Structure 1
Amino acid sequence: MSVPYVVSQSDTARAAHLLLVDDDADLLRLISMRLSANGYRVTAAASAEAALARLSVERPDLVISDVRLPDRDGLALFGDIQRSHPSLPVILLTAHGTIPDAVEAMSRGVFGYLTKPFDSRVLLDKVTQALSLGATTESAGAHDDASWRAGIVSRSNRMAEVLEEARMVAASDASILIRGESGTGKELLARAIHRASPRAAAPFIAINCGAIPEQLLESELFGHVKGAFSGAIASHNGLFQAADGGTLFLDEIGDMPLALQVKLLRVLQERAVRPVGATRSVPIDVRIVSATHRNLDTAMAEGQFREDLFYRLNVVSLLLPPLSERREDIPLLAASFLRQLATKYRKTLSGFAPDAIEALATAAWPGNVRQLYNVVEQVSALSTAPLIPASLVQRALRVRSMEALTYAEAKQRFERNYLTQLLKLTDGNVSDAARLADRNRTEFYRLLQRHELTPAMFRNTA
């Protein structure tokens, strides 16, 4: 075992202090020189024990460690660091064979990892990000533990990247737009961002913009005063005021009517809300996280979503992958749901048979995580044995229960199917289809655009 050594610059009084841990002496020296040349003060250690000894003497601003160390696993070293210094960011260096371990570590709070060999510029960028996050997190009094992402079960590389980005932006006050298919867990991620932010002690308020009629949505968001409209027998604070100091989650923001988009934009610009019927605005301090499954670029091109509002909401964009692109998470999610549902149904459920797991892992999952939960609930309710058989899983997969759909999703699906049948019936003749639907052509065209349906697709060219 080589002896730890220190590499430093002559003028390092204000330089960030990095602790570098690797048992490869040549690589250790090379990375130390590169970091030092970029203005960092570097302490190098060749083993986990040497690193812990240095930590007991002086706390660095960042730890960069190899996953495979001679005396102790790099993940175990991370665990020791997390217990003693929960806000200290850690970057792991890993070979291809240890990537699953690194991804697992990220789910427990590691800032990130780099796969060897890596470009020095990539390392420097990652160091800059980690130091920026560490400074913000420390000043906010937050901790780098995994409690902020409670409920998000994952070990996939795709989700690890999303969670890393989410934790980084949580420390700021930037507006975030979460994109992803229905059922991917957008509200779950929004709640995790809130818990990781300096606003965690304040309220988190969620509203589905597509599930509330337009005439009620304005009052729900902005509030109203007594007598503002028929039925307003008392003043009512809206959700913006309820979320003051905290986070307001606007789910399915793409379904918000244009008239309300204008009023929402004004609230975001002025940081004040005027209740319906009021003459004065009320100052608010709210962080906005919004989500949509719609393509907002298409919606803006069709005039259904305001471009200025989009740029207000989309300061930071996070994309949640569909379940079909994170299949390694399916067994973990299914097992987690089974434990929850075993308690709900008061049953002894030990797990899934191997062929049942295979059926789950290879299914299409158009409804994503929400559909997976629904399938696991069905098999939990019907199972008569501790081990879930493949036959029950296959039965549940064949029938897409309405319970897997929200009201807004069911309404959207019906509307699309209805329009499709009308166009088929009229061979793509919009005038005839609109007449059958008892709608004018302009409104009917707007419905077709919303569902991305083209009349030409249904014309009988024969």
Structure 2
Amino acid sequence: MSERIRILAVDDSQSTLEVLKRNLESNGYEVFTALRVAEALSLLDSLDIDLVITDYRMPQATGLDLIRHVRDNYPDTEIMMITGYPSIPGAVEAIKDGAGEYLPKPFTAEELLTVVERIVQRLLQRRVLGSPDTPPDNFGIIGNSPEMDLVFQRIGKASSTDANVLISGDSGTGKELVARAVHYNSDRRSAPFVPVNCTAIPDSLLESELFGHVKGAFTGAKDARAGFFEIAAGGSIFLDEIGDASPNMQAKLLRVIQSKEYCKVGSSHVHTVDTRIIAATHKDLKRLVAEGSFREDLFYRINVVDIAVPSLNERGDDILVLISHFMGKFAEAMNRAVPSLTDEALQAFRHYSWPGNVRELENLVQRLVVIVDHDPIEITDLPESMRFILSSEGGVDRSLADVEKEHISNVLAMTRNNKTRAAEILGINRKTLREKLKRMGLE
């Protein structure tokens, strides 16, 4: 990040403040502390604070009072609640009043940093998306191909309505990024965006995870718990990989979408749902419906607005824009100059199949920026699976001689013209390679 994240820690315990300050500053954050809410308000007035970490119970004004003040007056500031008196009602109240995260004491340094890093990622993503009132071009998503223009048009339409949204696309294409763009550019932007992995919830915990439970609802329910729909009240719930949802989960989701009501496990009290459904899948749901493995009635409930995210190979020169973006991002994080790519390496990037799509591209660029210590990045620095990618620009109507010539040229480039190593890779001896090079005019 170009600027240090500023954190304000508020707690009536000096020792807690010292622990927070020591752990956070050692990880690159700029930390300010306050023993009272009044002192915190003064610091908020004089400093641009990115994240407020506040205790729950304090003398005079409480942490909830501070949360409400921050949310009303500093809408771009993230909030995290910590407390030595953990309670589910307190957590729900804190979240509803604007706290993005809730962490009970005692907590380890690792637990603290994990939550703070998650908040910071959310903060930086919101900054990328820009002000909710003046959304940036393309909703902060990198790409300017005609295929992505269609995605941006659908995001705009979906953001202006409260209809349920189904996002489809291969793994790694950025479906959650599209879902967040829909949420943070809608009227629900100030309420929570709650992601739910439909494959990660076992049927035995399904109702409890989705709708919550009361204390004593079942063996092991020592405390009450808020479900995903309660936490997402007023906002959006993102059902990731809904195509993998079990039949039981499909039935529960259909019922809550239809009735707009639910009960917690162990309670007969009816809660009203005010949550937008944004679902995503890498599977063909129409085919699953035809096969009988996905409910047709649920499909039509979630597929009001559909957004199809193209694969990276369908996005043309967007890959060049993305490479430039990721190179700059990771080079800045490492405080180094942005590296360049040789023509051969760039060609390999351009013609690789990218089965992992944008996620694979981002991970590879990060690896190259971290590991490669010379400039430019060469084709020999790339994974072996990318080194022998032949250009497809010539189509399939080329002669065998043309294909052979291009392949030998690529191998020579990869080996930096080491003919002995090239001959080994090609499975021929050095004399045969010399003869081929002479015949092809490559000597």
Check whether TM > 0.5: yes
Residues 273 and 229 (structure 1), Cα distance of their counterparts in 2 relative to 1, 3 Å cut = same
Equivalent position to 1:276, from 260, 265, 277: 265
SS at match of 2:323: helix
User: What is the aligned partner in structure 1 of residue 91 from structure 2?
Assistant: none
SS at match of 1:227: coil
* 2:284 equivalent to 1:289: no
Residue pair 2:138, 2:152 contacting (<8 A) in 1 also: no
* 2:196 equivalent to 1:207: yes
Equivalent position to 1:146, from 128, 136, 140: 136
Task: Please give the alpha-carbon distance, in whole angstroms, between the structure 2 residues aligned to 1:398 and 1:300.
Answer: 41
Task: Please give the alpha-carbon distance, in whole angstroms, between the structure 1 residues aligned to 2:188 and 2:161.
Answer: 10
User: Structure 1 residue 161: deviation in Å?
Assistant: 1.1
Task: Please give the alpha-carbon distance, in whole angstroms, between the structure 1 residues aligned to 2:339 and 2:366.
Answer: 14
Task: Please give the alpha-carbon distance, in whole angstroms, between the structure 2 residues aligned to 1:380 and 1:273.
Answer: 49
Task: Please give the alpha-carbon distance, in whole angstroms, between the structure 1 residues aligned to 2:314 and 2:362.
Answer: 17
User: Structure 1 residue 303: deviation in Å?
Assistant: 2.0
CA RMSD for the aligned pairs? 2.1
* 2:304 equivalent to 1:307: no
Task: Please give the alpha-carbon distance, in whole angstroms, between the structure 2 residues aligned to 1:271 and 1:282.
Answer: 8
Q: Which amino acid aligns with 1:208?
A: N
User: Structure 1 residue 212: deviation in Å?
Assistant: 3.0
User: What is the aligned partner in structure 1 of residue 225 from structure 2?
Assistant: 236
User: Structure 1 residue 142: deviation in Å?
Assistant: 6.2
Q: Which amino acid aligns with 2:376?
A: L
Equivalent position to 1:354, from 343, 355, 363: 343
Q: Which amino acid aligns with 1:164?
A: Q
Task: Please give the alpha-carbon distance, in whole angstroms, between the structure 2 residues aligned to 1:347 and 1:386.
Answer: 11
Residue pair 2:380, 2:387 contacting (<8 A) in 1 also: no
Q: Which amino acid aligns with 2:262?
A: V
Residue pair 1:350, 1:386 contacting (<8 A) in 2 also: yes
Task: Please give the alpha-carbon distance, in whole angstroms, between the structure 1 residues aligned to 2:267 and 2:386.
Answer: 52
User: Structure 1 residue 273: deviation in Å?
Assistant: 2.2
User: Structure 1 residue 396: deviation in Å?
Assistant: 7.1
User: What is the aligned partner in structure 2 of residue 187 from structure 1?
Assistant: 176
Task: Please give the alpha-carbon distance, in whole angstroms, between the structure 1 residues aligned to 2:387 and 2:293.
Answer: 36
Task: Please give the alpha-carbon distance, in whole angstroms, between the structure 2 residues aligned to 1:254 and 1:198.
Answer: 27
SS at match of 2:350: helix
Task: Please give the alpha-carbon distance, in whole angstroms, between the structure 2 residues aligned to 1:216 and 1:334.
Answer: 42
Residue pair 1:159, 1:326 contacting (<8 A) in 2 also: yes
Residue pair 1:142, 1:196 contacting (<8 A) in 2 also: yes
Matches within 5 A, 1:6-155: 143-146=133-136, 149-150=139-140, 152-155=141-144
Matches within 5 A, 1:239-258: 239-258=228-247
Task: Please give the alpha-carbon distance, in whole angstroms, between the structure 2 residues aligned to 1:355 and 1:148.
Answer: 31
Matches within 5 A, 1:400-419: none
Residues 147 and 382 (structure 1), Cα distance of their counterparts in 2 relative to 1, 3 Å cut = same
User: What is the aligned partner in structure 2 of residue 327 from structure 1?
Assistant: 316
The superposition leaves residues 399-424 of structure 1 with CA deviations (integer Å, 9 ceiling, x where unpaired) of 9xxxxxxxxxxxxxxxxxxxxxxxxx
Task: Please give the alpha-carbon distance, in whole angstroms, between the structure 2 residues aligned to 1:209 and 1:394.
Answer: 33
SS at match of 1:182: coil
Matches within 5 A, 1:434-445: none
Task: Please give the alpha-carbon distance, in whole angstroms, between the structure 2 residues aligned to 1:398 and 1:358.
Answer: 10
Matches within 5 A, 1:337-416: 337-395=326-384, 397=386
The superposition leaves residues 201-252 of structure 1 with CA deviations (integer Å, 9 ceiling, x where unpaired) of 1111111111333323432221111122222211111111111111111000
Task: Please give the alpha-carbon distance, in whole angstroms, between the structure 2 residues aligned to 1:265 and 1:237.
Answer: 20
Identity level (%): 43
Residues 256 and 144 (structure 1), Cα distance of their counterparts in 2 relative to 1, 3 Å cut = same
SS at match of 1:352: coil
User: What is the aligned partner in structure 1 of residue 76 from structure 2?
Assistant: none
Residues 262 and 398 (structure 1), Cα distance of their counterparts in 2 relative to 1, 3 Å cut = farther
Q: Which amino acid aligns with 1:181?
A: D
Task: Please give the alpha-carbon distance, in whole angstroms, between the structure 2 residues aligned to 1:398 and 1:278.
Answer: 60
Task: Please give the alpha-carbon distance, in whole angstroms, between the structure 1 residues aligned to 2:243 and 2:275.
Answer: 20
Residues 302 and 229 (structure 1), Cα distance of their counterparts in 2 relative to 1, 3 Å cut = farther
User: What is the aligned partner in structure 1 of residue 214 from structure 2?
Assistant: 225
User: Structure 1 residue 382: deviation in Å?
Assistant: 1.3
Task: Please give the alpha-carbon distance, in whole angstroms, between the structure 2 residues aligned to 1:259 and 1:222.
Answer: 14
Under a length normalisation based on structure 2, what TM-score does the superposition of the two structures give? 0.55
SS at match of 2:317: helix
SS at match of 2:382: helix
SS at match of 1:339: helix
Residue pair 1:359, 1:394 contacting (<8 A) in 2 also: no
Greater shift after overlay, 338-347 or 177-186? 338-347
Task: Please give the alpha-carbon distance, in whole angstroms, between the structure 2 residues aligned to 1:218 and 1:257.
Answer: 13
Which runs of 5 or more residues in structure 2 are unaligned? 1-130, 389-443
Task: Please give the alpha-carbon distance, in whole angstroms, between the structure 1 residues aligned to 2:211 and 2:166.
Answer: 21
The superposition leaves residues 149-195 of structure 1 with CA deviations (integer Å, 9 ceiling, x where unpaired) of 22x10010100111112112211001010011111100000000111
Under a length normalisation based on structure 1, what TM-score does the superposition of the two structures give? 0.53
Residues 218 and 388 (structure 1), Cα distance of their counterparts in 2 relative to 1, 3 Å cut = farther
User: What is the aligned partner in structure 2 of residue 178 from structure 1?
Assistant: 167
Residue pair 1:148, 1:196 contacting (<8 A) in 2 also: no
User: What is the aligned partner in structure 2 of residue 70 from structure 1?
Assistant: none
Residues 244 and 372 (structure 1), Cα distance of their counterparts in 2 relative to 1, 3 Å cut = same
Residues 330 and 217 (structure 1), Cα distance of their counterparts in 2 relative to 1, 3 Å cut = farther
Task: Please give the alpha-carbon distance, in whole angstroms, between the structure 1 residues aligned to 2:249 and 2:135.
Answer: 39
User: What is the aligned partner in structure 2 of residue 259 from structure 1?
Assistant: 248
